[in-house]
Structure 1
Amino acid sequence: MPFKSFSDYLLLEKKYSELTVGAYVSDLKSFQAYNFSEFTQKQIINVNYAQIRSWIIHLAELKLENKTINRKVSSLNTYYKFLIKVGAIASNPLSNHKALKTSKRIQVPFTAEEVEQVLNTIEFKDDFQGYRDRLIIELLYVTGIRRAELIELKLNHLELECKTLKVLGKRNKERVVPLIQSIESTMSKYLKYRNELPCIVDGQYLFLTNKGLKLYANVIYRLVNQYFTNVSSKEKRSPHILRHSFATHLLNEGANLNSVKELLGHTSLASTQVYTHNSIAELKKVYAKAHPRSK
């Protein structure tokens, strides 16, 4: 496996999640498939920028967005930096590469009404899967946690008496997020059905499949998209949009930006300020309605 040492480096030294590491390796394999039938150390050393540029053009011809292409190239760049670090190559063929221009797209959050519609009008099945799906949507919305963080939640991270949840964020950074009372009923019913599963393999994890295995990312994406398709016509309906909704709704209701930053697990305010775009839209409505000169 040509990327084993690189994967170990990202997991153990950089503290990236398994999901993130998987995305890096997938991007490298995309480059490998385009250029080589086999990805050997000698070929890596001899790669030049012209080969990389040809791959970038190929990705553009596939109609991939510039943002996606930049991410793939960034994965390759990280790999070359790793090879320099371990002494496998002397220079990085991407050292002078400039990222493709991208337009800043504001992701539109779900409205509070759309979330309420999913939780209050859609009938979830009265079984393990029904309560699991409902709890996933509730938890994503009331805590703002990332999809990868939800997957990694363990039973011992849950403190129902204290109404808190310990979350392991990016690079293993821990934070504690509060739980609101409305989630308790769904949580207790899900745990009841969970404990009745005939076979539990990955018992330490909070969320499991019907076969008792640790939940995987695609399941969460599919279920969020499936349930919100019934109530929303928005272009993107994903777990990350629920995170956007959590932050935006808090800010719209007057929450402090620093508090939202801590709840989201951001290291800097710059990351959190992305969500203020949607709040500004709400402020404009209030401003236009309330200011005497707007009449």
Structure 2
Amino acid sequence: MKPVNEWVEYYIKTLILVEQASEHTARAYAQDLHQLEKFVGALDQVSTKDIRAWISSMMKQGLAPRTVARKLAVIRSFYRFVKRQGWRTDNPANRLLTPRFRPLLPRTLTMDEAHDLIESAKNMPGPLGLRNWALMEILYGAGLRSQEAVSLNIADVDLTSRFVRVRGKGGKERVVPFGTKASQALDEYLLRGRKALVRTRTTALFVNYRGGRLTTRSVRRIVKNVLATGAIQRNVSPHWLRHSFATHMLMNGADLRVIQELLGHSLLRTTQLYTLVSQEHIAKVYQNAHPRA
């Protein structure tokens, strides 16, 4: 059996290498586990009562139920892993109830805002501008996560059939279609952008100015730079484009289960959050348009 102080390290490595979790997610998980360890002591001796006391302490400190629920999910996942490895015979977090909270609606762009944002990227000059345009088109056009986009290789993209092979969470693969606008952007980028940026052999589709594979941090910076051109005055993250993809698909009549497949969601209830977003949109349209609203 591994020493207890190596449990977290091994768990985090497994998250990154096997389950394809992002570095940001892995750091957050590690932080939650270290907080529990600081509160209760050695992780191999933690009991259900200890975790309940930790949860109670966080609630008394005023942490939002959503935050506490996320931390509990991390602890539950960690001890499920520990039990699977045979380091403990139980999962002390299993019997605890998750704090109830109202689902947070995904933050989205309007269709006009999505169009304006992508057009701003399209108008950026040089090879990096072509890359930014193609990246924004594929994030919105295929509903990809940032990690999925930066993990793409050239061989994953079929410009003829307009499909992209995506490696999602947990290493699960899915094939997602993209439209003519994304196809045009990718074609331009591959012909005139990527060739000017790549200096050594690499399979990466999206590269930085030195020719290396983009990171998720780079994607956030790219979106921030596009926003700085004055496209829209909102603090937009790359994930907004994925949320917007799903919401706009639903608003235009797409079946919820098809959207689930396109997004790579394991559970339909995750995708169902987008129905709440579209209902909110319908209510706003009604309020603005109906004479007796």
TM-score (norm 1): 0.79
- 2: CA distance between counterparts of 1:139 and 1:286? 28
- 2: CA distance between counterparts of 1:81 and 1:279? 36
1:43-96 alpha-carbon deviations (Å, 9 max, x no partner): 222234565456546756886543233222322222222222222223333233
CA RMSD in angstroms comes to: 3.5
Query: 1:18 is aligned with what amino acid?
Result: A
Which residue of 2 is the match for residue 197 of structure 1? 197
Q: 1:228 Cα shift?
A: 4.0
Which residue of 2 is the match for residue 160 of structure 1? 159
1:44 aligns with 2:47: no
Which residue of 2 is the match for residue 242 of structure 1? 241
- 2: CA distance between counterparts of 1:289 and 1:29? 45
What secondary structure does 1:276 align onto? helix
Q: 1:273 Cα shift?
A: 2.1
Pair 1:109–1:196, CA change in 2 (3 A): same
* Native 8 Å contact 1:31 1:55 kept in 2: no
- 2: CA distance between counterparts of 1:114 and 1:261? 24
1:1-295 mapped onto 2 (5 Å cutoff): 1-7=6-12, 9-10=14-15, 15-19=18-22, 23-24=25-26, 26-32=28-34, 35-36=37-38, 43-49=42-48, 52=51, 55-56=54-55, 65-121=64-120, 124-191=123-190, 192-197=192-197, 199-200=199-200, 203-228=202-227, 230-234=230-234, 237-284=236-283
Q: 1:112 Cα shift?
A: 1.0
* Native 8 Å contact 1:153 1:206 kept in 2: yes
* Native 8 Å contact 2:158 2:164 kept in 1: yes
* Percent of aligned pairs sharing the same letter: 27
Aligned residues: 285
Pair 1:86–1:260, CA change in 2 (3 A): closer
What secondary structure does 1:91 align onto? coil
* Native 8 Å contact 1:24 1:75 kept in 2: no
Q: 1:272 Cα shift?
A: 2.4
Which residue of 1 is the match for residue 3 of structure 2? none
Q: 1:138 Cα shift?
A: 1.2
Q: 1:187 Cα shift?
A: 1.6
* Native 8 Å contact 2:145 2:242 kept in 1: yes
Query: 1:275 is aligned with what amino acid?
Result: Y
Q: 1:200 Cα shift?
A: 3.4
TM-score (norm 2): 0.79
* Native 8 Å contact 1:200 1:211 kept in 2: no
